[in-house]
Structure 1
Amino acid sequence: MASNTSETKIKLDFETFFNVIDGQLCSSSTGLTRFTVNPATLEENASVPVSTIDDVNKAVQSAQNAAKTWASTPWSERQKKLKAYADAFEANAEGFLQMLLNEQGKSIREAQIELWLTLTFLRGTADLSLPEEVIEDSDKRKVLTRHVPLGVAAGLVSWNYPIFIACVKFASALITGNAIILKPSPHAPYCNLKIAELGLHFFPPGVLQALSGDDNLGPWLVEHSGINVVSFTGSVGVGKRVMESCSKTLKRCVLELGGNDPAIVCSDVDIESTAPKVAYFAFANSGQICTIPKRVYVHESIYDKFLSAMVAYANSVSLKQDENPSIGPVSNQPQYERVKELLADIEKDELTIAAGNTKPPEGKQGFFLSPTIIDNPPDNSRIVTEEPFGPVFPVMRWTEESDVVQRSNDTNFGLGASVWSRDIAQADRIARQLQAGTVWVNTHAEVDPGIPCPGFKDSAIGVQYGVEGLKAYCNLQTLFTKLD
């Protein structure tokens, strides 16, 4: 629970929204604004600024000035401020919860999970450290390595977990002595602006800033010569463009991109308990999470019973955000149209629909789609090869271990995977053959601030979370002292 300090009594106003530049709440330099709609009700949200290149330049200059002093602030002091920030964030949890519902459309339970994850990572990241490592200490020489901050980071945040992703980025940047400018998705800008606004009470001006904008804002930040590292979460296509732009100024980049995680279910699982768990993970946040099962492979000996149990779970899921189990709408109209197009392709190819529907539910306002399961589609169908990022996934049969491993690895994605079995030796044997950054056994998508989250293939460049994630915001320096 939050500590009883004056900082935790800070009350944010969730009615008006501004950029945060150089310790001030600012409108765009042109006064231009835009807004999003609540994906569940289609009602208009509040106005937010549309930043200009002048706003970007001011924020970068402020961050450069702040980074010099912040880098020299002792690690213990940075930890203290980050933990105090976490307490104040918790005190404002109800406001963040309601705003998250309005801008992203999660169910209430999913929104509560995001806030819990955020607090866990804010406090967990604050407890991490990067001590100097002595390589040699002899009478002739002393050699050690240390990590020094890069300077100014840009955090490009996706719309599916806007609070959690933004806080992971800024906590990792700030604890290592960097300044950061958050750039929220145009589809979910509100909570990110409030995250930076809350930071005004804890961090020096310029250390934590946020800019809202349109599609021009990301390229302006990525290409800016005053930015030293870009942390981007989003699609593979945009990630490739970010990396290409970073190469022009040789700035570092950390990319967490798409996933098409396989979940391999072995023949010995307890169907009654396992099937709802796998289905829960697959439908979490309406399927809009990079690291959740997107392809489920079930051993043929239990396939029919396991599929039936997953269908039963899908049929129990409500589209009312205040019920449990439930899912919210797809978060924004562009993604809604993409998923509908994929569902239309499923219908055109006459694939077998075990649960749900390829059409939006009748009489339901907002970007809602029914939880949908596709029964044993061909391996080359779009629902298998693409990342849906919506509440629809395929379930397929497997017989031989070597075959299911090959099919699981037959993708350009490599973010996560899971194996479900009571035979831990079998699960470990399969897990070690999977080409994914994280492989879970008997769970999926569990994360921890102390555990790194890497990715293979097109799914990631660099690492997030844990000590390895902190290193992404640092230069490694060797100090070599000759004593002889």
Structure 2
Amino acid sequence: MYGKYCIFRLTTSKQKLIAGFEIQAAVANLRANSKLELKPTVLEDTEEKKVIQRFTPLGVAVGIVPWNFPLMIACQKIGPAVMSGCTTIIKPSPYSPYTDLKVVELAQQFFPPGVVQVLSGDDTLGPMLTEHPGPAKISFTGSSFTGKKVMASASKTLKRVTLELGGNDPAIICEDVDFEKAIPKIAFTAFIHSGQVCAAIKRIFVHESIHEKFRDALVEAVKQFKVGPGDEEGVTHGPIQNMMQFNKVKNLFADIEKEKWTVATGGRSDLGRPGYFVEPTIIDRPPIDSRIVTEEPFGPIVPIVTWNDEASVIKEANNTKMGLGASVWSRDIERAQRIADQLEAGCVWVNNHAELSNNTSFGGHKESGIGYEGGLGGMMGYCNAQSVHITKK
């Protein structure tokens, strides 16, 4: 009766493709972290003295997990915490508690008592954990708005913090882009998980000379999407996960008529069926200062903006408080890399977007975060650096 992903999808509003991806990503992340080791480094070794740098665990680390990828992100926090020698307390989102309760239940079969714990509760629980003098580290994934509150709360006891926050990722499309390869990737990455991904494409900057051709091709790709419950045959995009986020997305959709934006496809935030379903929507050439361009929607609505000057598009792409991810799409790799090198983002891709490696550190610039998740850089966030000075003579 129950398939491999059934309970998982029912409790997190995911279709099978995204649920399967999350499970695979969580496993891959844990395996990658299990191979990492912060070894002591000899910085100086002479007849008179020896200097060693080593890393010691901070102690208790709290991992505050969001609702969009509760399994994957919990594992991203558990792995480096225990591998660095910390104990960890996972705090799930009130919108998706069961996944993390189950993950920790399974983890406790393999770790000594108390090493991996979970505390579930409402919105009052987070501040209790961030203010408590016991934890030495807070790793938070969520909105920039809440991240600032976490940082302020943790500062009372000078806790170490890692903040992986929101993004407003630009994709810069050059006139020589490979349409056949780029369109499917851009459509997928802009609307993956109905836009509820921090590193999804949020702003598409298309060279003016190919604007209509690109727009029409992207619209055709997006029209192939099917919105519905995760267990319904053929569904590619599920609902918005909760009422709070659904209302935020609806508020943004209300601006379509109010601001007279041009809708290339979609436009409906009410599909006339039970559930928080929203139609994948492309807004064609809205004003550069409109909300759909300047704010992160965290829903299935994406603007297309045109450009014809390289310096100007780089400036506009960077004209945001966020700096999580960015991408450049061109057949000319040298040119694409030149543009990419000038983008203010923690991760930059050429001819791809949001494809991560477990061996690299992931983090944001500006208001998209502090610190890193993943790789040795992520593990170092759970440690104190200690220099040992040994006098030989």
1:323-342 matches, within 5 Å, as 323=233, 326-342=236-252
Give the one of 419, 430, 434 matched to 2:339.
Answer: 430
Give the one of 37, 50, 58 matched to 1:142.
Answer: 50
Deviations 1:303-344 (A, max 9, x none): 111111110111100013345571110010100010001000
Q: Distance in 2 between matches of 1:418 and 1:172?
A: 28
Measure how far apart 1:273 and its partner are: 2.5
Q: Is the 8 A contact 1:419 1:441 kept in 2?
A: yes
Q: Which amino acid aligns with 2:111?
A: F
Residue 345 of structure 1 aligns with which residue? Answer: 255
Residue 83 of structure 1 aligns with which residue? Answer: none
Q: Which amino acid aligns with 1:345?
A: D
Secondary structure of 1:390's aligned partner? coil
> Which structure carries more relative contact order (alpha carbon 8 Å, separation 6+)?
2
Q: Is the 8 A contact 1:318 1:325 kept in 2?
A: yes
Q: Is the 8 A contact 2:256 2:267 kept in 1?
A: no
- Residues 159 and 233 of structure 1: CA distance in aligned 2, closer, same or farther (over 3 Å): same
Deviations 1:118-170 (A, max 9, x none): 11101011111111111011111110101110000000000010000001001
Q: Is the 8 A contact 1:236 1:458 kept in 2?
A: yes
Q: Is the 8 A contact 1:272 1:309 kept in 2?
A: no
Q: Distance in 2 between matches of 1:284 and 1:359?
A: 17
Q: Which amino acid aligns with 1:475?
A: N
1:59-458 matches, within 5 Å, as 97-320=5-228, 321=230, 322-323=232-233, 326-362=236-272, 364-458=273-367
Deviations 1:50-83 (A, max 9, x none): xxxxxxxxxxxxxxxxxxxxxxxxxxxxxxxxxx
Measure how far apart 1:449 and its partner are: 1.4
Please list every run of 5 or more consecutive structure 2 residues that lacks an aligned counterpart in the other structure: none
Measure how far apart 1:448 and its partner are: 1.6
Measure how far apart 1:270 and its partner are: 1.7
Q: Which amino acid aligns with 2:363?
A: P
Secondary structure of 1:301's aligned partner? helix
Q: Which amino acid aligns with 1:172?
A: P
- Residues 329 and 243 of structure 1: CA distance in aligned 2, closer, same or farther (over 3 Å): same
Q: Which amino acid aligns with 1:480?
A: H
Q: Is the 8 A contact 2:240 2:278 kept in 1?
A: yes
Q: Distance in 2 between matches of 1:325 and 1:295?
A: 25
Please list every run of 5 or more consecutive structure 1 residues that lacks an aligned counterpart in the other structure: 1-13, 15-93
Q: Is the 8 A contact 1:143 1:481 kept in 2?
A: yes
Secondary structure of 1:339's aligned partner? helix
- Residues 123 and 108 of structure 1: CA distance in aligned 2, closer, same or farther (over 3 Å): same
TM-score, normalised to structure 2's length? 0.97
Q: Is the 8 A contact 1:347 1:358 kept in 2?
A: no
Q: Distance in 1 between matches of 2:6 and 2:152?
A: 37
Q: Distance in 2 between matches of 1:326 and 1:374?
A: 21
Secondary structure of 2:26's aligned partner? helix
Aligned residues: 390
Give the one of 373, 382, 385 matched to 1:476.
Answer: 385
Secondary structure of 2:17's aligned partner? helix
Q: Distance in 2 between matches of 1:313 and 1:104?
A: 26
**More off after superposition, 215-224 vs 324-333:** 324-333
Q: Is the 8 A contact 1:181 1:211 kept in 2?
A: yes
2:380 counterpart of 1:462: no
Residue 80 of structure 1 aligns with which residue? Answer: none
Q: Distance in 1 between matches of 2:362 and 2:269?
A: 35
Q: Distance in 2 between matches of 1:111 and 1:483?
A: 57
Q: Is the 8 A contact 2:164 2:368 kept in 1?
A: yes
Q: Which amino acid aligns with 1:453?
A: F
Q: Which amino acid aligns with 2:368?
A: S
Q: Is the 8 A contact 1:288 1:389 kept in 2?
A: yes
Q: Is the 8 A contact 2:269 2:277 kept in 1?
A: no
Residue 61 of structure 1 aligns with which residue? Answer: none
TM-score, normalised to structure 1's length? 0.79
Secondary structure of 2:314's aligned partner? helix
Q: Distance in 2 between matches of 1:313 and 1:392?
A: 14
Q: Which amino acid aligns with 1:403?
A: S
**More off after superposition, 100-109 vs 227-236:** 100-109
Q: Distance in 1 between matches of 2:257 and 2:43?
A: 61
Q: Which amino acid aligns with 1:337?
A: N
**More off after superposition, 459-468 vs 315-324:** 315-324
Secondary structure of 2:209's aligned partner? coil
Q: Is the 8 A contact 1:264 1:296 kept in 2?
A: yes
